[in-house]
Structure 1
Amino acid sequence: MINRDSYLNRLVRHRWNGEIKVITGIRRCGKSVLLFDLFYEYLLSQGVADDHIIKIELDQRRFYKFRNPITLCEYVESVVQAKANEQFYLFIDEVQLTTKVVDKENGGIEVTIYDMLNELKAYKNLDVYVTGSNSKGLSKDIATEFRGRATQIHVFPLSFAEFYSYVGGDERKALDTYMLYGGMPRLLMLEDEKDKKDYLASLYSELYVKDIVERNKIEREDILNDILDFLASQISSLTNPNNIANAIASMKKEKVNPTLVSNYVQFIMDSFLISMAKRYDVKGKTYFNYPNKYYYTDVGLRNARLNYRQYDPGHIMENIIYNELLQRGYSVDVGVVYDRTNGGKTQKEIDFVVNDADKKIYIQSAFRMDTEKKESAELLSLLLAKDFFKKIIVRMDIPHSFYDENGVFHCNFIDLLLGRVELF
């Protein structure tokens, strides 16, 4: 069992806050283990009685009857009402949102699990936690359905620090493995290379793609797959729906509607398979509508999608840094600055503008800086910001971290991932 302390601590902090705790994330990333194992064991260690933790796993046959929201609500109410002076915890796994039933006792209206959860939330002696099948759109609907009455805790695949805490050994060797296969937890149980590749390929084709197709009633699954291929090959590169549509049209020899592509990209993002980083004008303090960057939630899934043909360590490193920053709870954008030398105005890019409340830092990702030209290019974008926020270059090719004469912090990649350096 891997201790996922950052998520566990969030669950602990939000106990009894009067809101429903909703755990979201890409499927198979460890949401159920977090709730039903790690948080469950924590509660037991704090003296909570086992029979005061109501656990309902809706994907298990013995709990199928509770897929009816009214049956679920009535059962839970019967437990908490019987001992109104005692505190209970409710865990529900794999909440399905599409199920609607008619409440005949209340005018024949249709009710969903949302309605029942909001009703259960009113009990002062009940603290509610749910994990959602993102194929049914839980995360997308939280704000509207729970109307500000839910706390969302988003779970990612294993970070490198979590991965390394389990595998141990040589850090660089472990990082090489992580950069190739990523951090889906089940991989830790597999030793054979082929088994790992087969597992990731199966996740992609049998779970994620089918989820997206079924939930969104996708008619052009071939275009969806083309988009997934394109985004996998273009991680850390700027693009937009028009570019994607043109690339697919050229390949398929048919016209492809950019609006269709834009919709499909949004469906992929709703499934948590990829995320988008918007471009931000550092001086103008405004966002650009396009182009943007897209990153895979797990680099192993990205590599599997391309059948390990395009293994670019520089781009994969940048993807991992982006995910690491999101996992730490930061807001992350792509920075745009302008070089006005020689009478021109050329856009330059800062890989990441990272915000933590009122604090800000700039980060460049550089797999190696082995030439003067490469070093100059990486430094130029940071220095063009011309402010006093901390500036960092994350590198693979240095044995330890240091500050240079410009005040730029050169950070060893592994030191960053293992939390040995302070970013802010």
Structure 2
Amino acid sequence: MSFSRNKYLTKLIEHQHNHLIKVITGMRRSGKSYLLFTLFYNYLKGKGVDDEHIIRVDLEDRRNKALRDPDALLEYIDRRMVDKDMFYILLDEVQLVHEFEDVLNSYLNIPNADVYVTGSNSKFLSKDVITEFRGRGDEIHVFPLSPAEIHEAMPELDWQQLWELYLHYGGLPLTVLANTEKDKAEYLKILFKETYLKDIKERNKVKNDMEMEVLLNIISSSIGSLTNPQKLADTFVSTSKSKLSAVTIKQYLDYFADAFLVAKAERYDIKGKKYISTPYKYYFSDIGLRNARLNFRQIEETHIMENVIYNELCLRGYSVDVGVVEIRERDDKGNSVRKQIEVDFVCNQGSQRYYIQSALALPSPDKVQQELRPLRNIPDSFKKIVIVKDDILIRRNEDGIVTMGLKQFLLDERSLEI
């Protein structure tokens, strides 16, 4: 079984020969190497490019350790470029090369060099694409498999089977391919410990690794909850009986985000049209890793569904924030008071905007009103949507608010436009 990853392959094909460094980012084991070294390589071969003009270097392979030296890598690539025809340079895990920016910049002005690199660290790649390449870097972010990609590869699974597997084990390709649920769980646990945690600790020279792991447990237990470093510091004291400063907590959170393990969603004041500095929310890039961290003890479908929706929106290219709507209401004494109510997601892409609520179920009129209340108080005409777990026919109410099922949202990439 294989996964087509057509969305990402199409992007690579569209960005060929654009005189930019194509930087493929994403968390470890999300499929970056497969995309570049198998799917894109096969595409090039299918277009008649011979092996002599495809320079592939897996820098994570110990056999290529010598090429982690920037000068050795430059010499190797230069030695391979023996004529004026186009050469495709494919480098995997380029952040392992010291001063890799200089290496990549060396090929920006060579007309017959088309460069593609992968990396698993936003600190080394995303930020450096902006600062070092000065607009000459082109980032393509690869996410774990989406439910739609798994459905395409495994059509024999009905929706309930697919959702249950995704709810528990997420979308890392080797997790999906594992034969049994036991194998999936064991793979995720080992991956978390031996790859992600080890990588974060070694890269950032973390000394108090036990405290960092306690913080990771707290974050894992509270996906989709509003928080900030000071609040987490207080929680840390109450749960572990030891202190960790808000400054250190922020540093650790940045480490998690730089490894693409988690993503931070900022709060946005919809009426005031401004960002609110704190608190904010954290979501896991792969829900299976989050569950493995907690030994699969906290499978809260409400919060996991919200996390999955967040990831899907990011995958579709939206910039996703947590919305805040300020309203005025009368209290029990009849006094006018200001309140802030939350919209789960404010999604922007160019001139498009959607407001989205995640609701596991709407079992009563009161619950319906609770979910619709923030959307009804948004003073603009952008589309407003409630996503529920039930597989329902899409419907609109008198306010124009759309309610759709999770299945339709996840499996139909154009669902928001319906």
Pairing 1:368-407 to 2, within 5 Å after superposition: 368-407=361-400
Q: Is the 8 A contact 2:144 2:173 kept in 1?
A: yes
Decide which of 294, 301, 319 is 1:313's aligned counterpart. 301
- Equivalence for 1:95: 94
Partner of 1:266: 254
Shift of 1:389: 0.7
Q: CA deviation at 1:398?
A: 4.3
Query: Which amino acid in the other structure matches residue 356 of structure 1?
Result: Q
Judge conservation of contact 1:98–1:136 (CA < 8 Å) in 2. no
**2: CA distance between counterparts of 1:202 and 1:140?**
29
By how many angstroms is 1:138 displaced?
2.9
Give the Å deviation of 1:97.
4.4
Secondary structure of residue in 1 paired with 2:343: strand
Partner of 2:403: 410
C-alpha offsets along residues 293-325 of structure 1, whole Å, 9 cap, x if unaligned?
A: 110000111111111111111110010000000
Letter in 2 for 1:93: D
State how far apart, in whole Å, the 2-side matches of 1:292 and 1:177 are: 28
1-structure distance, mates of 2:125, 2:239: 35
Any conservation in 2 of the 1:135–1:212 contact (CA below 8 Å)? no
2 CA distance for matches of 1:420 and 1:12?
20
Contact 1:97 1:137 in 2 (8 A): no
1:256 aligns with 2:244: yes
Q: CA deviation at 1:171?
A: 1.2
> Are 1:222 and 2:210 matched, yes or no?
yes
Give the stretch that moved more between structures: 70-79 or 218-227: 70-79
- TM superposition score normalised by structure 1: 0.93
C-alpha displacement of 1:278: 0.3
Q: Is 1:188 paired with 2:182?
A: no
Give the Å deviation of 1:218. 0.9
Deviations 1:346-375 (A, max 9, x none): 100000001110111100000101022211
Aligned with residue 113 of structure 1, among 78, 84, 100: 100
**Residue of structure 1 equivalent to 2:267:** 279
In the alignment, which of 367, 370, 381 is matched to residue 360 of structure 2?
Answer: 367
Other-structure match for 1:124: 111
In structure 2, give the amino acid aligned to 1:376.
Answer: Q
| Paired residue secondary structure (1:204) | helix
Corresponding residue of 1:103: none
Any gaps of 5 or more consecutive residues in structure 2?
331-335
1-side partners of 2:96 and 2:76: how far apart? 19
Which deviates more, 171-180 or 144-153?
144-153
Does 2:225 correspond to 1:244?
A: no
- Give unpaired runs (5+ residues) of structure 1: 100-111
Amino acid across the alignment from 2:111:
K
Rounded Cα–Cα distance in structure 2 between residues aligned with 1:403 and 1:235: 30
Residues of 2 paired with 1:116 and 1:232: CA distance?
38
Q: Distance in 1 between matches of 2:122 and 2:114?
A: 25
CA shift in 2, pair 1:68/1:98, >3 Å: closer
Decide whether the 8 Å contact of 1:73 with 1:120 is kept in 2.
no
1:358-396 CA deviation, whole Å, 9 max, x = no partner? Answer: 111100000101022211110000010022110000011
Offset of residue 255 of structure 1: 2.6
In the alignment, the residues of structure 2 paired with residue 93 and residue 44 of structure 1 have an alpha-carbon distance, to the nearest angstrom, of: 19
Alignment of 1:20-35 (within 5 A): 20-35=21-36
Aligned partners of 1:97 and 1:114 also within 8 Å = no
TM-aligned CA deviation for residue 151 of structure 1: 0.6
Paired AA for residue 199 in structure 1: Y
User: In 1, Cα distance between the equivalents of 2:219 and 2:274?
Assistant: 25
The one-letter code of the counterpart of 2:352 is K
Q: How far apart, CA to CA, are the structure 2 residues paired with 1:303 and 1:264?
A: 20
8 Å contact from structure 2 (residues 266, 280) kept in 1: yes
Matched AA of 1:150: G
Q: Secondary structure at the match of 2:278?
A: coil
Deviations 1:251-306 (A, max 9, x none): 23233211111111111111100000000000101001100011000011111111
Identical pairs, percent:
46
C-alpha distance in structure 1 between counterparts of 2:61 and 2:229, whole Å: 40
CA distance in 1, matches of 2:172, 2:367: 33
Aligned residues of 1:245 and 1:257 also touching (Cα < 8 A): yes
TM-score w.r.t. length of structure 2: 0.95
Q: 1:348 aligns with which of 329, 341, 354?
A: 341
Structure 1 residues 82-117: Cα deviation after superposition (integer angstroms, max 9, x where no partner): 212x11100011213463xxxxxxxxxxxx222121
1:77 alignment counterpart: 78
Q: CA offsets per residue over residues 42-94 of structure 1, 9 Å max, x none?
A: 112222222211111122244333222112112222332x212x111000112
Which is worse superposed, 136-145 or 252-261?
Answer: 136-145
Q: Would you say how many aligned residue pairs link Structure 1 and Structure 2?
A: 410
Does the Cα contact within 8 Å between 1:279 and 1:336 map onto a contact in 2?
yes
In 2, the alpha carbon distance for the partners of 1:229 and 1:416 equals: 30
2:400 matches 1:423: no
Matched residue, 2:220: 232
Q: Matched residues in 2 for 1:225 and 1:420: separation?
A: 36
Q: Does structure 1 residue 142 correspond to structure 2 residue 168?
A: no
CA distance in 1, matches of 2:268, 2:405: 26
Structure 1: how far apart are the matches of 2:120 and 2:355? Answer: 35
Q: Is the 8 A contact 1:19 1:151 kept in 2?
A: yes
For the 8 Å contact 1:94–1:133, the answer to whether it is kept is yes
